[in-house]
Amino acid sequence: MIFETLGPIDYHESGTGSTMVLVPGSCSTGAAWRPVMAQWQNEFRCVTTSLLGYGGTAERRTEGHADIAQESEIIESVIRRAGGPVHLVGHSFGGLAALAVALRQRVPLLSLTIAEAPAMEILRAAGEMQNYEAFRNMSDAYSAAFKRGETNAIARMIDFYGGNGTFAAWPQRVRDYAIETTRANLLDWESAYGFHLTAALLASIDVPTLVVWGEASRPAVGRANDLLGRGIPGAIRATIAGAAHFMIATHPKPFADLVSRHVGESSLELAAAAR
């Protein structure tokens, strides 16, 4: 655990080798990475954390004052504690926060992996309003349902990503945690909509980047991540066959293989550049 004035931040590490900082998405903790980490069999030093309002990481945001920079700050604290430079890997909202870290350039990164980021603002910037509205319609209906007192309002968001029935199929303890952290998740969406991504911003990233999405993901999600990959100079874009949004749980091996290959290639590029 990292203790700061604004509250604690989850921190856990295991394994040896090159350092991976693994950032989970909403409604989860660093434990979400266990299936992927198991594939690496201690090949890497894996550092995990939780985003604001999840696990042991204290919430710092309030409604109307939720900025992606607040997520960046806690990830930067984790990277400094890890003793960077590091390979930064983020899934879902964690992927969007990892992108913000790369744009801020306040900590040293060896590589960046973004998986299934809710980067809907890049859709709006590109004028792809049909895909943008897919996100907006879901999040507006979800927020309204929660304000009406609908206990399972977050199921709307989960099923948007995983398909109808995804939330109902989850184990009870997982559903309970998602419901418990709904307020934090709504702040995540506020942060995401306030993160005004543009082609010019993406063009400023000079870290070797991999952008991943699922072959079976919702088209709006896939397109947003495709645009991220196209906008970041030299980024590698990859899809995982048969996977949707929750790929780090359902398809950990192909995901782990992609990241491992990306990290290896990034290390070779850096070594060549240093000669």
- Residue-wise pLDDT for 77-121, tens only, equals 999 999 979 999 999 999 999 999 999 999 999 999 999 999 999
pLDDT of residue 273: 61
| pLDDT of 268 strictly over 80 | no
Q: What is the pLDDT of residues 101-110, one digit of tens each?
A: 999 999 999 9
197's CB contacts (< 8 A; 6+ apart) are 119, 121, 122, 125, 228
User: How confident is the model over 5-27, as a mean pLDDT?
Assistant: 97
Q: Which tens digits make up the pLDDT trace of 206-242?
A: 999 999 999 999 999 999 999 999 999 999 999 999 9
The pLDDT, as a whole number, for residue 266 is 80
Sign of the four-CA dihedral 115, 231, 193, 80? positive
**What phi and psi values does residue 128 have, to the nearest 5 degrees?**
-95, 75
Tokens of 142: 């979800």
Within 13 Å of residue 266, how many CA atoms lie on the same side as its CB?
25
- As given in the structure block, the two tokens for residue 153 are 């309002």
Give dist(CA 255, CA 247) in Å, integer.
Answer: 7
Q: Residue 17 — pLDDT band, cuts 50, 70, 90?
A: very high
Examine the pLDDT at 193 and tell me if it is beyond 80. Answer: yes
| Whole-number average pLDDT of the chain | 96
Question: How large is the angle between the packed helices 182-193 and 68-82, nearest 10 degrees?
Answer: 100
Q: Which two tokens stand for residue 150?
A: 């609908």
- Lowest mean pLDDT: which of 4-18, 227-241, 258-272? 258-272
The β-bridge partners of 90 are: 23, 114
What tens digit of pLDDT does each residue of 44-56 get?
999 999 999 999 9
Judge whether residue 149 has pLDDT over 80. yes
pLDDT over 70 (residue 271) = no
User: What pLDDT does residue 275 have?
Assistant: 54
Evaluate if residue 151 carries a pLDDT over 60: yes
**Confidence (pTM):** 0.96
CA distance 204 to 200: 7
